[in-house]
Structure 1
Amino acid sequence: MAAFFKLDRNIQLRIVMMFITVAIGSSVGPNMTIYYVDYFGAFSTGILLVLVQIAGFIAGLYGGHLADLWGRKHVMVVGIAVMSLGYLLAASMNSPFYINPYVTFFGFLMATVGLSFASPAEEAMMIDVSTVKNRKFIYAMIYWVINLAVMIGAGLGGWFFKTARFQLLIGTALGAFMSLGIVIVWITETFPKEKRPAHGQSVWAAVKSYRAVFSDQRYLKFMVASIGATIIFSSPDYYLAAHLAERFHTINLFGVTIFGQRMLSVVTITNTLIIVVLMGWMTKLFEQWSEMKASALGTALQGGGFAVMFLLNDFWPLLIVAVILTIGEMIVTPASQSLRAEMMNPEKIGAYSGFSAATRPIGAILASGIVSASVFVGNVGAAVLLLTATGISILFTYLAVQMLRENRTR
């Protein structure tokens, strides 16, 4: 904790904001899918959720472009204000006196767009005021905070969403406005005007800005590695969920029946608890390792762990592997995020952050493709596909790091 108070104040405040944002998002986000299905049906809900992802994708790219033009704080204020108004609108449409699911959807669409718009500026600000030496610690702490917030938010949502939805949504809106107040009152600008480029605010100017990112071969290689990493950590949401639902051997443990869906929850809870309890210790244990060494080992343990889970059907083997892959996750996360920050062009961090965020939907789509491919290749084939993604992630991280090392020695 002493190390936390030595960090730049903007970083401290950003970590507090991240806890609030993730907690409120986790409390309502997963439950809104059920809400939409109840009102719109499964087919329409699927289309609406895809539209939300597309809107967030575009907002993130444009927000990253403007973070270099307007500065970090301005973009954060606009994005978080839109997010806050979206949550407030959604809450007002779910009162005990009036419910409107259509306006509720628009409110959550606003919240997603606002959050996506602000995210590249928030990441750019973190990079502006951090150093190569303290980034591992910062990203490890952020990851710990995210997992703690998810655990608390999911618990609140599961307990109150059905019985006290209006009050929960009001709390969500208040949390968002609290984050907005922190940005307006206490966050300071970290990207001075003299460093900002002269490109315009138009969409075409944004396209030209990202063209420069595409020309950075080192960063493109690292983004390929990031897509592979996204496929790995998306596994619980896609093939692993389907595999456990179809093939898990149901057992009775301490009077509780554990079937496929519950086993996935057990894996998720185990993962979160280990991270919350051990993340600080693991960061200190591996702080002397190079980013490449930590990334390779962590990715191999995490990707290999999920691939093995694709082949398992029983409770205890799955639980043991869940512990092993969580260790890999704790090793790779701070190292990989620190590497990503170092590989960005300091003059275009906003655009680089926006491009980084844009690769995540690509990885999620490929991860979902393993579910479709498994119809033809089975669980062994799905495991091989995931191991291939793991190998690609390690290989392209290595290639990017080699180019980074060459640049350091020039």
Structure 2
Amino acid sequence: MKWSDWDINLKVRLIGEGTFNLLFWMFFPFMAIYFSKHFGQETAGLLLILSQFIGTVIGLFGGYCADHFGRKKMMVFSGAGQAACFIFFALANSPWLESPFLTFISFSLLGLFGQLYWPASSAMIADVVPEKYRPGVFAIFYTSINVSVVIGPLLGGFFFFKHRFALLVACTIVSFILLQALRVWIHETVPQSAAACKKENGSSGWIPFLKNQFRDYGVILRDRIFLLYILAGVLVAQTFMQLDMLIAVYTSDKVPDQTLLSFGGWSFTASGHQLFSLMVSMNGLCVALFTVLVTKWMARYREGGVFMISSLCYGVAMILMGSTVNAWLLLFGIVLFSWAELMTVGVQDSFVAKLSPPELRGQYFATSGLRFSLGRTIAPIAIPMTVWFGYPATFIILAAVAFLGMMLYGVLFAMFYRRQRVSLASKNV
């Protein structure tokens, strides 16, 4: 799908969200360090877990609101909330005031408004892009995020610690510009069926709202294929969520200093910490460079095979990285790890769009996010597992979990393809 064929909504959002994400990743990776310094590690960890849990719940409401109140309305509402949060975020780190508590409140609310924004954002892409082009468009948006992940932390390492107030002021200005762009240039994309459903079931008050919310999510969770998709995703997430958890601890704790390159009298020696930074950068760079290319390649194959082979690669990568301290083998492991991620980048959102009826599309996207939110909530248990079982056994257990996810993908896609055949046969009758 050519850029000239893109809906104006997509063009405005790609440019605006890309700029916003770049600034976001200039402070986000360092917030755990900030909170640990001011609150202590245990308190900071508990606060962040609580914030993430609330964000997960809010994200489900975000999907409902996107379907019942409109994509644009929710995106504008969320954008206004984020802009307001940045005002207080910047104020709490200004020359006139330093308040870790206000910083935490602002940062947490920023995340909550983000949870309201993204279900509407993903649903809008599915609304305006024909099915055969969705994997490519989703891949481009994902690439934009990963470019920010590569560049943002490199810049943020300087600006966050030395010019934090200026960075947050820039975030505030950009958020207001994005809000104005959303208000002026994008249009509503809720399908007519969803709009009609809203009018038919429209009612005022929080009790009817909650009843409708739980009714719709009950419909979604009775979709056995989609439920298996979430469960398999949570299992596989236990591997790729370990990049900044178990793999970070393992390389820092067990990997010795090693000379990676040597030429004449010059050599490059990396410690475990430096090797981990290199692995993270390599992962982000692989995803940023090859997402669109690999997504086009994967679009030629059936989704079931793509998801299963991706899970297999995650498991093999975990076994490899947990069984060596050799820097080059670890780097090869992270390349395999990145390949597994690349395989499903564009396919996963396209598959959710294919499963979801138009009137519930926002909620399907919000619910599919449970794969990551629940996965990230469970993933930290790998750290104490290294004490209970040791590093090699922990990596093997996580690989086994990925292989279990692969088997679940096999079951769910067998059901999905059977459903497609039945549906096609009924249409031909």
Q: Which amino acid in 1 is paired with 2:166?
A: Q
1:214 aligns with one of 221, 243, 259: 221
Q: Which residue of 2 aligns with 1:9?
A: 8
Q: Which residue of 2 aligns with 1:294?
A: 306
1:263 aligns with one of 272, 275, 296: 275
- 1:258-312 Cα offsets, whole Å, 9 max, x none, are 2222211111111122222333333333332222222222232233213321222
Q: Which residue of 1 aligns with 2:63?
A: 64
Q: Would you say the 8 A contact 1:235–1:306 is kept in 2?
A: no
What is the distance in 2 between the residues matched to 1:228 and 1:142? 25
Aligned length in residues: 409
Shift of 1:18: 3.2
Q: Which residue of 2 aligns with 1:235?
A: 242
Q: 1:360 to 1:327 in 2, by over 3 A?
A: closer
What is the distance in 2 between the residues matched to 1:398 and 1:67? 31
Structure 1 counterpart SS, 2:27: helix
Q: 1:309 to 1:219 in 2, by over 3 A?
A: same
Shift of 1:257: 4.2
What is the distance in 2 between the residues matched to 1:100 and 1:367? 31
- 1:30-87 Cα offsets, whole Å, 9 max, x none, are 2222222222222221222122112211211111111111011111111121111111
Q: Which amino acid in 1 is paired with 2:398?
A: L
1:339 is the counterpart of 2:355: no
- 1:87-113 Cα offsets, whole Å, 9 max, x none, are 121112222232222222221122111
Q: Which residue of 2 aligns with 1:362?
A: 374
Let me know the Cα RMSD of the aligned residues: 2.0
What is the distance in 2 between the residues matched to 1:132 and 1:176? 31
Larger Rg: 2
Q: 1:156 to 1:223 in 2, by over 3 A?
A: same
Pairing 1:146-165 to 2, within 5 Å after superposition: 146-165=145-164
1:247 is the counterpart of 2:259: no
Unpaired segments ≥5 residues, structure 1: none
What is the distance in 2 between the residues matched to 1:219 and 1:258? 44
Q: Would you say the 8 A contact 2:230–2:370 is kept in 1?
A: no
What is the distance in 1 between the residues matched to 2:405 and 2:8? 34
Shift of 1:19: 1.4
Structure 1 counterpart SS, 2:390: helix
Q: Which residue of 2 aligns with 1:90?
A: 89
Q: Which residue of 2 aligns with 1:27?
A: 26
User: Which stretch shows the higher mean deviation, 374-383 or 215-224?
Assistant: 374-383
Q: Would you say the 8 A contact 1:286–1:294 is kept in 2?
A: yes
What is the distance in 2 between the residues matched to 1:253 and 1:401? 43
Q: Which amino acid in 1 is paired with 2:117?
A: A
What is the distance in 1 between the residues matched to 2:174 and 2:102? 20
What is the distance in 2 between the residues matched to 1:314 and 1:16? 41
Q: 1:400 to 1:315 in 2, by over 3 A?
A: same
Q: Which residue of 2 aligns with 1:203?
A: 210
Q: Would you say the 8 A contact 2:304–2:409 is kept in 1?
A: yes
1:306 is the counterpart of 2:318: yes
Shift of 1:199: 5.5
Q: Which residue of 2 aligns with 1:395?
A: 407
- 1:360-409 Cα offsets, whole Å, 9 max, x none, are 22211332222222322222322222222222222222222222222222
Q: Would you say the 8 A contact 2:237–2:372 is kept in 1?
A: yes
What is the distance in 2 between the residues matched to 1:54 and 1:286? 33
What is the distance in 2 between the residues matched to 1:323 and 1:22? 24
User: Which stretch shows the higher mean deviation, 7-16 or 341-350?
Assistant: 7-16
Q: Which residue of 1 aligns with 2:44?
A: 45
Q: Which amino acid in 1 is paired with 2:233?
A: S
Shift of 1:133: 0.6
Shift of 1:256: 4.8
TM-score by length of 2: 0.89
Q: Which amino acid in 2 is paired with 1:335?
A: V
Structure 1 counterpart SS, 2:95: coil
TM-score by length of 1: 0.93
Shift of 1:26: 0.9
What is the distance in 2 between the residues matched to 1:143 and 1:135? 12
Q: Which amino acid in 1 is paired with 2:28?
A: G
Shift of 1:221: 0.7
Q: Which residue of 2 aligns with 1:349?
A: 361
Q: Which amino acid in 2 is paired with 1:30?
A: P
Unpaired segments ≥5 residues, structure 2: 262-266, 424-429
What is the distance in 2 between the residues matched to 1:378 and 1:9? 53
User: Which stretch shows the higher mean deviation, 363-372 or 158-167?
Assistant: 363-372
Shift of 1:253: 4.3
Q: Which amino acid in 1 is paired with 2:293?
A: W
**Runs of at least 4 residues off by over 6 Å:** none
Q: Would you say the 8 A contact 1:69–1:198 is kept in 2?
A: no
What is the distance in 2 between the residues matched to 1:117 and 1:355? 12
Q: Would you say the 8 A contact 1:137–1:283 is kept in 2?
A: yes
